[in-house]
Structure 1
Amino acid sequence: MSKKTVVLGASENPARYSNMAVKRLRTHGHEVVAIGKREGQIGDVPIQKEQTDEQGVDTVTLYLNPAHQQQYEAYILKLHPRRIIFNPGAENEVLAQKAKEQGIEPVEACTLVLLTTNQF
């Protein structure tokens, strides 16, 4: 089942985990919205700088440290995804608590591992 996923911190750099995650999500058939500092392209997914108004988001996966997450906090909560994945280095207790209060599940995990182990 396809899960619409917003990747925050997307990068065209193939060495970055966010880049690998976008590719792996697409390989698994998920719809991906990639948002990053610079516009670009990862496979068939455009990287956008703008916070686009998305509907039906299942997952937001974060590849930003907590300081860089602040500018996206209201946006993430407004998307009201089913869950937010805090990848290693993106752990944020404040955002996790705000998410919980709005019925959004915070998950400290690695998107790549979840996909590899069929737990996504």
Structure 2
Amino acid sequence: MTKKTLVLGASLKTDRYSNLAIHRLVEHGHEVVAIGLKEGNVSGVAITKEPIVFKDVDTVTLYLNPRRQSVYYDYIISLHPNRVIFNPGTENPELYSQLQEVGIEVEVACTLVLLSTNQY
């Protein structure tokens, strides 16, 4: 089953985990949308700088440190995803609480590991 995924904190730099995650998500057949600091394209996925209200997002996978997440709290909640994955370095108990209050699942995990072990 494919899961439309928003990569928040997407990077054009090939050595970044968010970049690799986009490649792997696409390889696994998931529809991917992405927001980053610079516009561009990774594996056929357009990265936008502005938070677009994407429809039917199942998963938001975070690649932003907690200090940079606060401007996106309301945005993430407005998407009504089923879950938000907090990749290593993005852990944020303040956001966990807000998400759980509105029924959004919090998963502290690595998207790349979840994909490679078929747990995504």
Tell me whether the two structures share a fold, i.e. TM-score over 0.5. Answer: yes
Residue of structure 2 in register with 1:60 after alignment: 60
Q: In structure 2, the residue corresponding to 1:9 is in which secondary structure?
A: strand
Residue of structure 1 in register with 2:79 after alignment: 79
Residue of structure 2 in register with 1:90 after alignment: 90
Aligned-pair CA distance for 1:55: 1.3
Where structure 2 has 5 or more consecutive residues not aligned to the other structure, the ranges are: none
Sequence identity percentage: 59
Q: Size of the alignment, in residue pairs?
A: 120
Q: Given residue 51 of structure 2, which amino acid in structure 1 is its aligned partner?
A: Q
Aligned-pair CA distance for 1:85: 0.2
Structure 1 segments (4+ residues) deviating >3 Å: none
Residue of structure 2 in register with 1:118 after alignment: 118
Residue of structure 1 in register with 2:69 after alignment: 69
Residue of structure 1 in register with 2:99 after alignment: 99
Residue of structure 2 in register with 1:49 after alignment: 49
Q: In structure 2, the residue corresponding to 1:34 is in which secondary structure?
A: strand
Matches within 5 A, 1:2-17: 2-17=2-17
TM-score by length of structure 2 reads 0.98
Distance 1:57 1:104 in 2: 12
Residue of structure 1 in register with 2:22 after alignment: 22
Q: In structure 1, the residue corresponding to 2:119 is in which secondary structure?
A: coil
Distance 1:25 1:66 in 2: 23
Deviations 1:9-41 (A, max 9, x none): 000101000000000000000000110011011
Where structure 1 has 5 or more consecutive residues not aligned to the other structure, the ranges are: none
Alpha-carbon RMSD: 0.5
Q: Given residue 72 of structure 1, which amino acid in structure 2 is its aligned partner?
A: Y
Aligned-pair CA distance for 1:71: 1.1
Q: In structure 2, the residue corresponding to 1:64 is in which secondary structure?
A: coil
